[in-house]
A = this chain, B = another copy of it.
Amino acid sequence: MPRLERSPTYRLVFDAIERRILGGHLKIGDPLPTEMELAEQFGVNRSTVREGIRLLEQEGLITRDGGKRPRISAPQYKDLASAASRALVLHAVTFRELWEASMLIEPATAELAAMNIDPVELERLADNIRAMETAVADLESGASFDVEAFVTLDRRFHEILAEASKNRVLMLAHEPVTTLFIPAGRIILPRLKTWRRVLDAHRVIHGYLAAHDAAGAREWMRKPMDDFRRGYALTGLDFDTPLDAAAYAR
């Protein structure tokens, strides 16, 4: 049976506006027409329009900057990444799947980054490494237990690399995976204290990137990831156990 059903009006509103955006009638940066205008144009109530707008909003097609007029925008990676992360967690994805994908994406990202990185990004990486040096020194000296700072810097390193690859498809694939690694990192790193090894690897990778040595960058990107896998096993966590949903409910 064809299972006929008609969409609710608020969804039709969403579809209509979406088409206007993708069709180019509403360009990125343009302000969305006022809710009243839309309500009149579509011949529906303002409340209904608002519900349609919420769909657009969650999709990232419009951004609201304070209480003022929303504007059309291209969905941000962050939004998609968090959506993807949520989905993967709810689908009870395992660490093995995550790691397999990461082992694929990260070295390739490093490779492309080696070919396409520009001086500004190299300098940003250098800054990141310097910051991580002090973070590691603090952690090793016991002056601080700020694991979060280290994890954030590590993530930022990979993020800059993804940008440097100049490949937005990879960037998009990259984000959710690193997001899901974070909670695992928070658990593993403090136990194994592999700060120094991570930092060293970052330094070497930075060197390869500066020299535009794709093969080298690729190879060294694998190392900290292998460490990570071993760390996961060493802390007694099982590869094939689904990731814990609760840990991701920020």
Measured CB to CB, the residues of A under 8 A from B are: 5, 10, 14, 18-19, 21-24, 28, 47, 50-52, 54-55, 57-61, 66, 74-75, 77, 80, 83-84, 86-91, 93, 97-98, 100-101, 104-105, 108, 112, 166-170, 172-173, 176-177, 245-246, 248-249
Given A22-B86, A60-B87, A98-B169, 20 more pairs with CB closer than 8 A: A5-B66, A10-B54, A18-B249, A21-B90, A22-B248, A28-B90, A55-B55, A74-B87, A74-B91, A75-B86, A75-B87, A77-B87, A80-B87, A87-B172, A88-B168, A88-B172, A100-B169, A101-B167, A105-B173, A172-B176
Per DSSP, chain A at the interface is helix
Complex interface: chain B residues within 8 A of A61 (CB): 86
This chain: how many copies in the complex? Answer: 2
Complex interface: chain B residues within 8 A of A177 (CB): 169
Partner of A91, one of B90, B168, B170: B168
Complex interface: chain B residues within 8 A of A108 (CB): 104
Q: Is the CB of B249 within 8 A of A19?
A: yes
Question: Given the complex of chains A and B, what is the CA–CA distance between A175 and B71 in angstroms?
Answer: 28
Question: Given the complex of chains A and B, what is the CA–CA distance between A214 and B91 in angstroms?
Answer: 26
Q: List 28 A-B contacts (CB under 8 A).
A: A14-B58, A19-B249, A21-B90, A23-B245, A23-B249, A24-B246, A47-B47, A51-B51, A52-B54, A54-B54, A54-B55, A54-B58, A55-B55, A55-B57, A55-B58, A59-B86, A60-B83, A61-B86, A75-B86, A75-B90, A80-B80, A88-B168, A98-B169, A101-B169, A104-B108, A104-B170, A169-B176, A169-B177
